[in-house]
Amino acid sequence: MKEFRVHRGRMAPLDRDNVDTDQIIPKQFLRRVERSGFGPYLFYDWRRDEPDFVLDRPQHRGASVLVAGINFGCGSSREHAPWAIEDAGYRVVIAPSFADIFLSNCGKVGILAVALREGRVRQLMEIAGEAPETELTVDLERQVVSAPGFESGFEVDPFTRECLLNGWDEVGLTLRHEDAIGAFEARSGAAAKA
């Protein structure tokens, strides 16, 4: 996984609540066996059906911070959703809240999901709309999101933070505890054979 320390980039405001993973990456694109190449299909139906879809507006091209409404990433567990977001050039998603599985998947993919209060997210949407050239700085080490005239701290799971800061491979990390896993299996008779 790519390490994540400080990211600076422009925002794309997707002012919608409950964006589900079926919208982020529709199912007809889940049939690839590779992890890459999903970017062109990000929000495929919306891009196709809405000529002025916000992410495609010239002022938001090249944005790398996606700002969205509550409960972002609800629905299916497909990791293809954060893969598509990453492949399309985004490294940060900011929303008032995230669905559990999506949030967990982001951490594994190297995307930082930042939950800010609704009012703060609204402010960012306004900045992105009125001054799209504004660069937002997302500092994971200090846990601060900032832009001229805007600053907000944020909470992040400390383990996810460590993994992102160091670009750790979680499997490698766990395999260091192989003895503990073996001991658990011996102790619990783990488990009944499937």
* Residues at the interface with other proteins (CB under 8 A): 16-18, 20, 22-23, 26-28, 30-35, 45, 70-71, 74-80, 82, 97, 99-101, 104-105, 108-109, 157-159, 169-172, 174-175, 177-178, 180-181, 184-185, 188, 190-194
CB of 191 to other proteins, least distance (A): 4
Give whichever of 58 and 172 is closer to other proteins, judged by the CB atom.
Answer: 172
Comparing CA positions, the residue from 47, 158, 69 lying closest to residue 119 is: 69
Give whichever of 6 and 175 is closer to other proteins, judged by the CB atom.
Answer: 175
Give whichever of 70 and 131 is closer to other proteins, judged by the CB atom.
Answer: 70
Q: In what order do the strands lie in the sheet with 65-68?
A: 112-115, 92-95, 65-68, 6-14, 135-139, 144-147, 150-153
Residues 6+ apart with CB under 8 A from 110: 1, 2, 3, 4, 86, 91, 164, 167
Give whichever of 93 and 147 is closer to other proteins, judged by the CB atom.
Answer: 93
**88, 90, 140 from 11: Cα distances, Å:** 13, 9, 17
Residues 6+ apart with CB under 8 A from 22: 75, 76
Give whichever of 58 and 189 is closer to other proteins, judged by the CB atom.
Answer: 189
CB of 189 to other proteins, least distance (A): 11
CB of 166 to other proteins, least distance (A): 14
CB of 1 to other proteins, least distance (A): 9
